[in-house]
């Protein structure tokens, strides 16, 4: 994972994973996963986040169970998935103080 901060408010990160699955019959699948994240803080209270995941999968027919007599089972199947999440969070500021046996609540909304 690689992360980089731009200014104080903008934080980004990138991560990648690769998986190669094999069996006794040969290759089964290859999976490549890429993740990108960015977060921005506005006025110490508002947090905006953007996350993207890109998944690339190749399933080989040589490692799969089943008959290999059909023409479609000899070809590899490719699949690509994209997921993008956008989120927002607000941080509430609250403090409790005790003055002369009374609790005072101070908060920002």
Convert the pLDDT of each residue in 86-106 to its tens digit.
999 998 877 667 777 776 666
**Which pLDDT value is given to residue 56?**
95
**Which pLDDT value is given to residue 66?**
47
**Which pLDDT value is given to residue 62?**
58
Convert the pLDDT of each residue in 41-74 to its tens digit.
998 889 999 999 999 999 886 544 544 444 445 5
**Which pLDDT value is given to residue 28?**
87
Backbone angles phi, psi at 62, to 5 degrees: -70, -30
**Which pLDDT value is given to residue 63?**
47
**Which pLDDT value is given to residue 8?**
87
The pLDDT confidence band at residue 75, using thresholds 50, 70 and 90, is low
Domains of the chain, residue spans: 2-108
């Amino acid at each position: 994972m690689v992360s980089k901060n731009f200014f104080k408010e903008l934080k980004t990160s990138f991560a990648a994973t690769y998986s190669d699955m094999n069996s006794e019959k040969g290759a089964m699948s290859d999976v490549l996963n890429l993740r990108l994240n960015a977060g921005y803080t506005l006025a110490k209270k508002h947090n905006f986040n953007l996350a993207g995941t890109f998944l690339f999968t190749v399933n080989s027919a040589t490692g799969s169970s089943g008959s290999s007599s059909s023409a479609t089972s000899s070809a590899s199947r490719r699949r690509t998935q994209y997921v993008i999440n956008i989120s927002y969070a607000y941080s509430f500021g609250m403090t409790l103080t005790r003055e002369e046996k009374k609790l005072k609540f101070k908060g920002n909304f």
